[in-house]
Amino acid sequence: MKNNALSIITILISNLIMYSQCEPTNLISDASFEIDAMYFGMYESVCESTSEYSCVWERNDGGEITNSNAYDGNYSWKTNSGSVIQMPPIGLSPNTNYILSCWVNTLESQEEYVINIGSASNTWIGPTDGWEKISLSFTTGIDNLTRTLGFACYTGEAYFDLFELCAFSTLVVEDETPQSKVSIYPNPSKGIVNIDLNKLGRNKNVSIKVFNAIGQLVFQNKHIKQDDYRFYLNDAPGLYFIEINSNNRKQYFKLIKE
């Protein structure tokens, strides 16, 4: 199976439908290590930044290109404990949504692996059920547009393949709930989110879900009865959607985290 650089992700969240469309251009030129493998042979390590070759990837320690376990093409990057592979700084556009993703295959339990670009990062614990796709969404501002992206496995072994970094746009088919009795502030937020539920009445029983721009559930809480509710969104900057369910009536709100 193969994932094209141009992809449309359709996410259904109850009656809210979002379309996230990647731009046709993948900003990672050697997405499956085929170029580096041709230069250095299938079992040689990814070249260092001081190499005489024009290498796409760099590494800090350990790991190798291998053809023993690949998701796309013939080669993948095999890490061992503590090894990091990274790409030299990539110039990004200001005020733009991006998705950084790759496919990973971990073979041992309790393996910790991470992807990051600049200060934005996500961490997972293995094992995976075969090859699984992991992703990180983030939004640029007007500064810090040149960032290094990296992938690491802190314990055990993991295989990484078919990397993709692309800009995407999100279209929400259904508008936010009109004349809502709920207010959310501050918006944009640095992480702290306040929700005023006072106008929902005395007998409310509220549940809250927060989804990121690609439809992943990143936060939820149930049986909220107080008028003022606060939580901290401990995720990367970007666009989020808040679903508030009160007595089986759902409302949706956009939230920007800076």
pLDDT at 46: 55
What is the Cα–Cα distance from 198 to 204, expressed in whole angstroms?
9
The pLDDT value recorded for residue 45 is: 52
Same domain, 110 and 211: no
Which residues does residue 24 pair with via DSSP β-bridges, in sequence order? none
CA angle 2, 7, 11 (to 5 degrees): 115
Residue that is last in its domain, among 126, 142, 170:
170
Phi, psi (5° rounding) for residue 206?
Answer: -105, 140
Report field, pTM of the whole predicted structure over 0.75: no
Q: Are 206 and 246 within one domain?
A: yes
- The reply to whether 181 and 163 lie within a common domain is no
- The token pair that represents 138 in the structure block: 């983030």
Contact 106, 174 (CB under 8 A): no
Whole-number pLDDT of residue 111: 72
Q: Which of 152, 170, 188 is the last residue of a domain?
A: 170
The answer to whether position 3 is within a domain reads no
**Based on the domain organization, do 33 and 115 belong to the same domain?**
yes
Per-residue model confidence (pLDDT) at position 3:
37
Same domain, 39 and 78: yes
Structure tokens at 140: 């640029």
As a whole number of angstroms, the longest Cα–Cα distance in the chain is 71
Residue with tokens 């992700």: 9
Positive or negative, the CA dihedral 236, 240, 244, 248 is negative
Assess if residue 1 is contained within a domain: no
Closest CA to 211 of 54, 12, 67: 12
Owning domain of residue 204? 176-257
Residue whose entry in the numeric block shows the structure tokens 């350990």: 62
Q: Check: CB of residue 47 under 8 Å from CB of residue 108.
A: no
Length of the chain, please? 258
Cα–Cα distance for residue pair 249/237, rounded to 1 Å: 28
Are 28 and 111 members of one domain?
yes
Show which of 135, 170, 205 is a domain's final residue. 170
156 with 207, same domain? Answer: no
What burial class does residue 108 get, using C-beta atoms within 10 Å of its C-beta: 0-12 exposed, 13-18 middle, 19+ buried? exposed
Angle at alpha carbon of residue 144, lines to 161 and 167, rounded to 5°: 45
Q: How far is the C-alpha of 63 from the C-alpha of 152, rounded, in Å?
A: 10
Domain count, the chain: 2
Tell whether 64 and 40 lie within a shared domain: yes
> What is the DSSP-derived secondary structure letter of residue 175?
P
* 201 shares a domain with 96: no
Per-residue pLDDT at 157? 81
Which pLDDT score is estimated for 170? 53
pLDDT number for residue 196: 93
Residues 62/83, Cβ–Cβ less than 8 Å: yes
Mean pLDDT by 10 residues, the chain (258 residues): 34 43 66 67 49 62 81 85 77 82 79 80 77 82 81 81 77 50 90 92 88 78 92 85 85 86
